[in-house]
Amino acid sequence: MKTRETKANRFSETKTRGLTTIILAVFISVGACSEDEISLQQQEEQDNLPVTEFSYTIVGTNQTTFYDDFDVISTPAVGEPFYGQDASYSSKEPDYTDNGDGTITDNLTGLM
């Protein structure tokens, strides 16, 4: 009798583990899809933000090359993947003065 109960218990435990694994896999898959959808929605909202004029100077990065995840790419158009990199925007070139006393002045912002 014990042998039958043990076999039945093992079968039940195996079935429960298998079902738990399937439920967990589905839950993870659904979560991943939802995150992608949220990221797409956030990107669309960001793309629709108005351009803001700042009352202060933003110094450029001198970045002129575009990149994807691995390589240099051609200039992406608005709405394409990888659009919005620093090279997409014109900006003021960095301009610094060495004050000769161990400090540097940023001539665009006045910061020292």
Per residue in 3-53, pLDDT tens? 566 665 565 666 667 667 777 666 666 555 555 565 666 666 666 666 667
* Beta-carbon-side half-sphere exposure of residue 88 (alpha carbons within 13 Å): 14
Q: What mean pLDDT, rounded, does the chain reach?
A: 77
pLDDT band at 56 (very low <50, low <70, confident <90, very high): confident
Q: Which of 88, 85, 84, 90 is nearest to 58 (CA)?
A: 90
Res. 92: pLDDT tops 90 = no
pLDDT band at 102 (very low <50, low <70, confident <90, very high): very high
Q: For residue 59, what pLDDT is reported?
A: 80
Res. 101: pLDDT tops 90 = yes
Distance of alpha carbon 74 from alpha carbon 55, whole angstroms: 32
Q: For residue 82, what pLDDT is reported?
A: 92
Report the pLDDT averaged over residues 59-87.
90
Q: What percent of the chain has pLDDT over 90?
A: 25
Interior angle at CA 23, CA 28 and CA 38, nearest 5: 25
The pair of three-digit structure tokens given for residue 35, joined into one six-digit string? 């995150």
Contact 97, 105 (CB under 8 A): yes
